[in-house]
């Protein structure tokens, strides 16, 4: 340890960095740490791939889904589950990832340390949302590539479908990110975060048409699922990736993209307000 530090340069203190530029500098740092966390890579990033593989392997023998009485038509099990896995990926990359990540950072002192620096909470949020967007998009693109080239699932060719995909994905993943920030206030310690967050995420996936065929669920369960955002993200994704004939199997016999947008916007507002109200660098005493 050499104890020599160069003295203060003879110049006035330069201006503090802007909130946006610090936020952008956080994104790269956050993404780097995301991919260094084995837990996150496995349970958030790779999980939809694993589940798609398991479902395809487990149920392919039962034949196609939605075949006509004469045995024609229908789609493979993988093709049927792909929209659900994309929706699950959005939920995991946004809500599960941030709720556990931020609760952990609160628990281990990272937030307290950042709270003592000239970093605005807004820049911190930009870093987190950016991390979710980049990792979520990467996950979705890889999932689509795997679906197309490993599971041989035909993808839509109609640009209008991809436009729907883009807005459902972006709106859904950003909504989930803010809900994750809000939910991070719930666990009482960083260590209990997974135990609090994962059951919520798991139950939502079961009732919202990710693991189980949504049209096979009892109506009361469909109605409960309709109160939460995942159902709407899955429905939006089905509208993109399933043939038009499958619209008849939806709860109201249509894709209802307007309702998808409305439900996600309402949850986005809930997430924004919840994040704004609950976020603290540290748990302040009374």
Partner 1 sequence: MTTSTPAVRVARLSKSYGDFDAVSDISFDIMPGETFALLGPNGAGKSSTIEILEGYRDRSEGDITVLGVDPQHGGLDWKARIGIVLQSSGESGNATVVEQLRHFAGLYPNPRPVDEVIAAVGLEAKAKTRIHKLSGGQQRRVDVALGIIGRPELLFLDEPTTGFDPEARHQFWDLIRSLKAEGTTILLTTHNLDEAAELSDRAGIIVGGQLIDIGAIGELGGPAARTPMVRWRDASGARHETRTDSPARLVAELAADAGGEPAELQVIRPSLEDIYLGLVRRHAATTSNPENAEVLA
Q: Which residues bind partner 1 (CB under 8 A)?
A: 1-9, 13-17, 22, 25, 29, 32-33, 36-37, 104, 107-110, 112-113, 115-120, 281-282, 284-286
Q: Of 125 and 241, which CB lies nearer to partner 1 in the complex structure?
A: 125
Q: Which is nearer to partner 1, 33 or 138 (CB)?
A: 33
Judge residue 66's burial from the number of C-beta atoms within 10 Å of its C-beta, 0-12 exposed, 13-18 middle, 19 or more buried. Answer: middle
Q: Minimum distance between the CB of residue 196 and partner 1, rounded to whole angstroms?
A: 18
Q: How far is the CB of 279 from partner 1 (least distance, A)?
A: 15
Cα–Cα dist 24/17, whole Å: 11
- Phi-psi bin for 255: left (phi > 0), alpha (psi -120 to 50), beta? alpha
CA gap 286, 281 in Å, rounded:
15
Closer by beta carbon to partner 1, 7 or else 253: 7
Give the residue with the Cβ less far from partner 1, 24 or 155: 24
- Least distance from C-beta 276 to partner 1, angstroms? 18
Task: Give the three-class secondary structure for 218.
Answer: coil
Cα–Cα separations (whole angstroms), residue 4 to 9, 13, 30: 14, 21, 32
Tell me how long the chain is.
286
Calculate ∠ Cα 221-77-62, nearest 5°: 95
In our burial notation (b when 16+ CB lie closer than 10 A, e otherwise), range 201-227 reads beebbebbbbbeebeebeeeebeebee
**Contact yes or no for 257/263 (Cβ under 8 A):** no
Q: Which residue number, 69 or 118, has a Cβ lying nearer to partner 1?
A: 118
Identify which of residues 32 and 148 has a Cβ nearer to partner 1 in the complex. 32
CA–CA dist 49, 45 (Å, integer): 8
Q: In the complex, what is the shortest distance from the CB of residue 192 to partner 1, in angstroms, rounded to a whole number?
A: 15
| Complex with partner 1: residue 73 or 109, whichever CB lies closer | 109
**Nearest approach, Cβ of 118 to partner 1 (angstroms)?**
4
Instruction: Find the shortest distance in angstroms from Cβ 124 to partner 1.
Output: 11
- Work out how close the CB of 27 gets to partner 1 at its nearest, in angstroms, rounded to a whole number: 11
Residue 141 has, within 13 A of its CA and on its CB side, a CA count of 6
């Amino acid at each position: 340890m050499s104890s020599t530090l160069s003295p203060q340069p003879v110049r006035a203190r330069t201006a503090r960095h802007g909130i946006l530029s610090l936020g952008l500098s956080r994104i790269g740092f956050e993404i780097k740490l995301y991919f260094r966390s084995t837990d996150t890579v496995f349970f958030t990033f790779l999980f939809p791939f694993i589940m798609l593989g398991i479902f395809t392997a487990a149920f392919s023998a039962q034949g196609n889904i939605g075949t006509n009485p004469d045995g024609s038509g229908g789609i493979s099990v993988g093709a049927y589950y792909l929209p659900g896995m994309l929706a699950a990926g959005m939920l995991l990359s946004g809500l599960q990832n941030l709720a556990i990540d931020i609760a952990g950072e609160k628990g281990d002192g990272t937030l307290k340390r950042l709270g003592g620096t000239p970093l605005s909470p807004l820049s911190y949020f930009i870093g987190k949302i950016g991390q979710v967007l980049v990792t979520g998009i990467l996950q979705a693109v890889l999932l689509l590539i795997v679906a197309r080239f490993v599971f041989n699932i035909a993808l839509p060719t109609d640009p209008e479908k991809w436009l729907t995909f883009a807005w459902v994905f972006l709106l859904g993943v950003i909504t989930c990110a803010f809900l994750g920030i809000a939910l991070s206030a719930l666990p009482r310690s960083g260590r209990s975060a997974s135990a609090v967050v994962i059951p919520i995420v798991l139950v939502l996936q079961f009732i919202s048409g990710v693991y189980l065929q949504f049209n096979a669920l009892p109506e009361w369960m469909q109605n409960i699922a309709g109160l939460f955002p995942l159902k709407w993200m899955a429905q939006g994704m089905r509208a993109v990736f399933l043939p038009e004939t499958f619209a008849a199997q939806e709860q109201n016999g249509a894709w209802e993209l307007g309702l998808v947008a409305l439900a996600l916007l309402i949850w986005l507002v809930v997430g924004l307000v919840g994040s704004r109200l609950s976020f603290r660098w540290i748990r302040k005493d009374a």
